[in-house]
Structure 1
Amino acid sequence: MSKQTPGSPDASRYEALRAILRYARPHRLTFIGIFFATILAIAADLVQPYLVSIVIDDHIAVGQSGLPFLTGMALIYLGLAVVSLIFTYIQSNLLQYAGQHIVASIRKDLFDHISRLSMSFFDRSSSGGLVTNVSSDTETISQFFTQVLLSLIRDGMMLVFIIYFMFRLDTTLAWYSMLTLPIIATLAILFRKRLREVYQYARSRLSRLVAFTAENLSGMGLIQIFHQEKEQTRRFTEFNSDYWQANVQQLKSNVLFNRTFDVLGNIALVLMVWLGGVAVFNKQMEVGVLYAFISYIRQFFQPINQITMQWNTFQSTMVSMDRIWRILRIQPEIRDPEPQQTANVHLEQVQGKVDFNHITFGYNEGQTILPQLDLHIRPGEMVGVVGTTGAGKSTLIALLNRFYDVQKGSVMIDDQDIRRIPQEQLHRIVGLIQQEPFLFSGSIIDNVRLFQEQVSREQVIEACRFVGAHEMIMKLPQQYDTRLSERGSGLSAGERQLISFARIVVFRPRVLILDEATANLDSHTEQLVQKALQTVSEGRTTIVIAHRLSTIMHADRILVMEHGEIVEQGTHAKLLAQGGIYAELYRHARQAGHDVAEA
């Protein structure tokens, strides 16, 4: 037997298997119950032919049976059938209960783990692939606990019981039956590789189809804007056809495998009938024994067939377990500080002073986005940030939210390095409003308070009044109880943005960041949002990344970034007077017809 070297695919898969099976430990008693229920169900089922053989040989054949005896034996036979039914039902329900609980726990832990991973992980991973992990891969693991495990327990024990009864009835015929085992093993080995290949191919085609569908649904707006419906439908049809062909190949292989086993079983049955018939004719075997033996040999191939077929599912399960385990063992790059290093921060006492102390950062090794940037923002100051695409504006914000850690230097709030502040506290201190506000499926109330029940309805309504969203909400069918669909469809961009402003009022962060928050708004809606911005920024340190210069013209200070460096800074009037990059941006904005005032 070859050794599994650390890091090899087989070693990785068995490590994943051990990790996933740890989820079964809390259900040990349930699995013990499954084991004993299976023994009772199988025993009651397989005793029936043996009982009939005794009735035939020891009573009917010698004329010692009457109607009362036959009635009694029939009732016993019926009772055994009922016992088998009851314990099979109990075994199946217990297994489904344990299996579904285990898979639900895995799915919950997987989603929770993914939600805690750093943003760099999502930069490298497609959303469609993660959807496949959470849905399709966990469903495959569910099949392991509800199908593979059931087959190993039930069919394995049934095979042992059948062999026991066969040897108890007639040793010679039993040994003849055992001659089929090497043939069965050879067939299983020959088919196993083919079955594994077609099954894995089908799973990979399904994963690709699910990932493509998820990504298209999330980008449906872009598809329709650029009239990509036909092209995307063509690609979907291609992926769907690949999955269909893979399923057909899998079905053909399964049918060929099953029919081969059926033929082998029928050949063995004919052989046993012929050998047993000769033995009965020569008075070397009783008729009842032959009847029972034929019953057992007909059942002999069923558990072997089932166990062999489940090998295919087991291989697929191992692949899914490995993929899930690869995610579960990823450690977040951004972690909370150790208790002894945690800064003692009181949220109500935070002033909002922000310092970027000679920071250096790049998303990839060898790539520097911010080289030695030094920036200091006073408590309560409103700072506007402008610059061309790729200047490093959004990177600055990502570092302040600690989506990433700087490679050199430090980011500090109130003279505390944010790496020493727990992330939950940091995200209460720093509030972020993005260009496209994200709304969840749920009521407006829940979207404002983000499903945190400790925030009262009155606080939500007061926050919406504060930012000017109340009148808009009161016009909706169920007002604050109006349920929004995914991403808040049905509301305009400005209305969704006002709800995101209300969140800021509810959670009261000391540092407020607006990342292109008015870029997609018309002039009228922008004025409403501007008014809300002035309201929520009062008394808060505010950083505004602006596409429209009108958003930041009244800022205390405007920063102009280029290639990760601050090349200009000052008030709107001062920067215009300098006649530099900002003045050029302003002139282009006016020529483009953007709503900017005269200097």
Structure 2
Amino acid sequence: MTNLNKELPAQKEPVSKPHEEKPSTSSTLKLLLGYAKPHRLTFVGVAFCALLGISAELLQPLIVQIAIDDHLVKGEGGGALIKLGLLYLGIAVVSFVFTYLQNNLLQYAGQSIIARIRKDLFGHISKMSMSFFDRTHSGSLVTNVSNDTETISQFFTQVLLSLVRDGMMLVLIIALMFSLDVELAAFSMLILPVIFIVAALFRSYLRSTYQQARSRLSRLIAFTAENLSGMGLIQSFRQEEEQLGRFTEQNRNYWTANLRQIRSNVLFNRTFDILGNAALVLMVWLGGRAVLGQSMEVGVLYAFVSYIRQFFQPINQITMQWNTFQSTTVAVERIQRVLETKSDVREPDSGQTVPLDPRDVRGEVNFRDVTFGYRADRPVLKRLNLNIRPGEMIGVVGTTGAGKSTLISLLNRFYDVNEGSIEIDGTDIRRIPQSDLHAVVGLIQQDPYLFAGSIVDNVRLFREDVTREQVIEACRFVGAHPMVLRLQNGYDTHLSERGSGLSAGERQLISFARIVVFRPKILILDEATANLDSETEKLVQEALTSVSQGRTTIVIAHRLSTIMHADRILVMQEGEVTEQGTHAQLLASGGHYAELYRHARQSGRERLPG
């Protein structure tokens, strides 16, 4: 049995190209600040609530200190302690209220920012040229839109919160500690250099472990997506065990990287726990000696110990967020790399733009000295010249690799020509806005893509300006109406992804209905009947006859019946048009088309080779 590894799609290169530079930390922070700027007033509110909440929280040990030194030590109680107790309770309520407000404001701002990043990222990806998707993992892009944005969300809801709240708390605690006892406070500060040294030592290690884990996760997602897309092929060649083995290897690699990242985070965080506990023991010992020597009151020692415990809490929280900050930096770099990737196919400059009104388009297409290759050293089309008259139906045949699909990819401007030009009604398509171009050029592919949604939504592609009545009329026009009515819920039948549940012919009829709804002046069919049985092909052929009326039509076909009645048939070999004419003329000339035709007839099929 043939090994499936050769049949499955090859892994693509990462988004970044070898010559691209990694975004700097300053540029990633600039990107985050740019998205955060519209919410600056909200962040001011967060800081204000945090200040009030922290202040109320830090007053609590002082109230206890007053109760101990001014009342309990002197044997006093009664009304004064009740008042202090009520004050303590009131301050706790104030701390709760402002902490609640602070968290809600921050979540609102953070989630709003992430929603906008996701929208911008998806919008940017959807505008990229096909060459971008040729070299980019789909799994990597899914990770960018989902996981990386969630990581950035943690920056606003965790890291930023820690920097604001814990930073303020640290400053206020230091001030209160020095107000209680200068000597003990000074001893407490000796631990700060140690903390900075430990953080610096861990910084690069934490970053490398996270990058490795994210990279292996992207590969795992990409591998899974590719296998799900090719599951029919996997099962038909009985390659489940082979692919499971490959998946297990990818899964094990991610598991190993994940464990390494977790171990590094635990080691980092526990190191600070040890430092905090050691400092607390030192302060209790020094403070206890001072109390025994009667140079410090018991209440002051209680307050100081409370503050020293709280002193290491914000430090620990800030350091614990270091790995999240590292994760955020990596995630922003990945997203920034995508956002900074320029499409190879770009909108024309404002001074060169030629707007195209679909109602005024005649449909004349000209290829002028077009040379193109997916790699510069391997041209697929070589100085191609071709004129297609308005309303003409052109059939294109040729063996695999002759350049048939490349021809229509260039006309749709999925790629730009390397040399020469392609014109519609005398206008270079590079000067036409892409929205105008795609409104004029309609494409029906061999395997039409249907989205998860109703029949109506799939015909009008979720555009609300297209009415239900227009959809039904389009389906009637192409002969799809009886098929739709046979479905359980008719036009409201919900299709799953890719339209599973519909036959290839039924999906193709839906795609023809789209053409009727959007009315492009130039219609391209990329082997639209290649995988259909004879009965279904007849329905699709009738639909093609209907929708091609009054349109310039280019048909890439493997079936003779699809192109025999074309106004002109082009025969392509190695990126050049070697023959052209009607079916009868080409048979009479006895060239390559006649040979293809003879081969198809001898094999007992109406399918042309290639």
**TM-score, scaled relative to structure 2:** 0.94
Equivalent pair of 2:356/2:437 in contact (CA under 8 Å): no
1:455 deviates by 1.2
Aligned 1:354-369 pairs, distance under 5 A: 354-369=365-380
Query: Closer, same or farther in 2 for the Cα pair 1:341/1:502, shift >3 Å?
Result: same
Deviates more, 1:527-536 or 1:357-366: 357-366
Aligned pair partner of 1:443 in 454, 460, 463: 454
In 1, Cα distance between the equivalents of 2:369 and 2:214?
A: 49
Q: Which amino acid aligns with 1:258?
A: N
Deviates more, 1:286-295 or 1:349-358: 349-358
In 2, Cα distance between the equivalents of 1:385 and 1:438?
A: 23
- 1:3 alignment counterpart: none
SS at match of 2:202: helix
In 2, Cα distance between the equivalents of 1:230 and 1:80?
A: 64
Aligned pair partner of 2:445 in 427, 434, 438: 434
Equivalent pair of 2:372/2:418 in contact (CA under 8 Å): yes
Equivalent pair of 1:360/1:406 in contact (CA under 8 Å): yes
- 1:211 alignment counterpart: 222
1:75 deviates by 0.9
- 1:12 alignment counterpart: 24
- 2:570 alignment counterpart: 559
Deviates more, 1:453-462 or 1:333-342: 333-342
SS at match of 2:351: helix
1:525 deviates by 1.0
Pairing 1:34–2:46 present: yes
Aligned 1:491-502 pairs, distance under 5 A: 491-502=502-513
- 1:103 alignment counterpart: 114
- 1:269 alignment counterpart: 280
In 1, Cα distance between the equivalents of 2:199 and 2:421?
A: 62
**TM-score, scaled relative to structure 1:** 0.95
Aligned pair partner of 2:263 in 248, 252, 261: 252
In 1, Cα distance between the equivalents of 2:408 and 2:158?
A: 49
SS at match of 1:209: helix
- 1:90 alignment counterpart: 101
1:399 deviates by 1.2
Q: Which amino acid aligns with 1:400?
A: L
Q: Which amino acid aligns with 1:505?
A: V
Query: Closer, same or farther in 2 for the Cα pair 1:106/1:555, shift >3 Å?
Result: same
Note the alpha carbon deviations across 1:90-121, whole angstroms, 9 max, x for none: 11111111111101100000000110111111
Query: Closer, same or farther in 2 for the Cα pair 1:30/1:332, shift >3 Å?
Result: same
Note the alpha carbon deviations across 1:470-493, whole angstroms, 9 max, x for none: 000001011001111111111000
Q: Which amino acid aligns with 2:461?
A: L
In 1, Cα distance between the equivalents of 2:382 and 2:32?
A: 44
Equivalent pair of 1:13/1:319 in contact (CA under 8 Å): no
Query: Closer, same or farther in 2 for the Cα pair 1:586/1:28, shift >3 Å?
Result: same
In 2, Cα distance between the equivalents of 1:320 and 1:31?
A: 22
Aligned 1:136-285 pairs, distance under 5 A: 136-285=147-296
1:210 deviates by 2.1
Query: Closer, same or farther in 2 for the Cα pair 1:489/1:297, shift >3 Å?
Result: same
- 1:300 alignment counterpart: 311
In 2, Cα distance between the equivalents of 1:463 and 1:9?
A: 50
Pairing 1:406–2:417 present: yes
In 2, Cα distance between the equivalents of 1:459 and 1:11?
A: 49
In 2, Cα distance between the equivalents of 1:359 and 1:114?
A: 28
Pairing 1:45–2:57 present: yes
Equivalent pair of 2:355/2:436 in contact (CA under 8 Å): no
Note the alpha carbon deviations across 1:58-91, whole angstroms, 9 max, x for none: 222234x332111111111111111111111111
Query: Closer, same or farther in 2 for the Cα pair 1:229/1:427, shift >3 Å?
Result: same
The gaps in structure 2 that reach 5 residues or longer are 1-18
Pairing 1:58–2:79 present: no
Deviates more, 1:535-544 or 1:342-351: 342-351
Query: Closer, same or farther in 2 for the Cα pair 1:68/1:95, shift >3 Å?
Result: same
Equivalent pair of 2:207/2:323 in contact (CA under 8 Å): yes
Query: Closer, same or farther in 2 for the Cα pair 1:405/1:591, shift >3 Å?
Result: same
Aligned pair partner of 2:387 in 359, 376, 401: 376
Q: Which amino acid aligns with 2:525?
A: L
Q: Which amino acid aligns with 2:177?
A: M
In 2, Cα distance between the equivalents of 1:163 and 1:457?
A: 68
Query: Closer, same or farther in 2 for the Cα pair 1:89/1:201, shift >3 Å?
Result: same
Equivalent pair of 1:131/1:214 in contact (CA under 8 Å): no
SS at match of 2:295: coil
**Count of paired positions:** 590
The gaps in structure 1 that reach 5 residues or longer are 1-6
In 2, Cα distance between the equivalents of 1:240 and 1:483?
A: 34
Q: Which amino acid aligns with 2:408?
A: I
In 1, Cα distance between the equivalents of 2:170 and 2:21?
A: 32
Note the alpha carbon deviations across 1:302-333, whole angstroms, 9 max, x for none: 21122112121112211111111111122222
SS at match of 2:382: strand
In 1, Cα distance between the equivalents of 2:139 and 2:293?
A: 70
SS at match of 1:340: coil
In 2, Cα distance between the equivalents of 1:144 and 1:596?
A: 58
Deviates more, 1:276-285 or 1:356-365: 356-365
Aligned pair partner of 2:146 in 135, 155, 158: 135
Deviates more, 1:36-45 or 1:51-60: 51-60
SS at match of 2:543: helix
Note the alpha carbon deviations across 1:367-424, whole angstroms, 9 max, x for none: 2111111111111111100001111111111111111222222211122222222211
Query: Closer, same or farther in 2 for the Cα pair 1:327/1:252, shift >3 Å?
Result: closer
Deviates more, 1:442-451 or 1:306-315: 306-315
Note the alpha carbon deviations across 1:160-202, whole angstroms, 9 max, x for none: 1111111111111111111122222232233333333323322
1:264 deviates by 2.2
Pairing 1:112–2:103 present: no
Q: Which amino acid aligns with 2:59?
A: V
In 2, Cα distance between the equivalents of 1:408 and 1:449?
A: 36
Aligned pair partner of 1:529 in 527, 540, 547: 540
Equivalent pair of 1:397/1:513 in contact (CA under 8 Å): yes
- 1:309 alignment counterpart: 320
Equivalent pair of 1:440/1:488 in contact (CA under 8 Å): yes
- 2:9 alignment counterpart: none
1:9 deviates by 6.2
Equivalent pair of 1:13/1:321 in contact (CA under 8 Å): no
Query: Closer, same or farther in 2 for the Cα pair 1:8/1:416, shift >3 Å?
Result: closer
1:225 deviates by 2.7
State the superposition RMSD in angstroms: 1.7
SS at match of 2:370: strand
Equivalent pair of 1:554/1:572 in contact (CA under 8 Å): yes
Pairing 1:330–2:341 present: yes
SS at match of 2:24: helix
Query: Closer, same or farther in 2 for the Cα pair 1:428/1:193, shift >3 Å?
Result: closer
- 2:466 alignment counterpart: 455
Note the alpha carbon deviations across 1:556-577, whole angstroms, 9 max, x for none: 1111000110111111111112
1:248 deviates by 2.4
In 2, Cα distance between the equivalents of 1:449 and 1:337?
A: 28
Q: Which amino acid aligns with 2:362?
A: Q
Q: Which amino acid aligns with 1:48?
A: Q
- 1:424 alignment counterpart: 435
Q: Which amino acid aligns with 1:481?
A: D
- 1:4 alignment counterpart: none
Equivalent pair of 2:22/2:333 in contact (CA under 8 Å): no
Equivalent pair of 1:523/1:595 in contact (CA under 8 Å): no
In 1, Cα distance between the equivalents of 2:91 and 2:156?
A: 28
Query: Closer, same or farther in 2 for the Cα pair 1:343/1:261, shift >3 Å?
Result: closer
Q: Which amino acid aligns with 2:598?
A: R
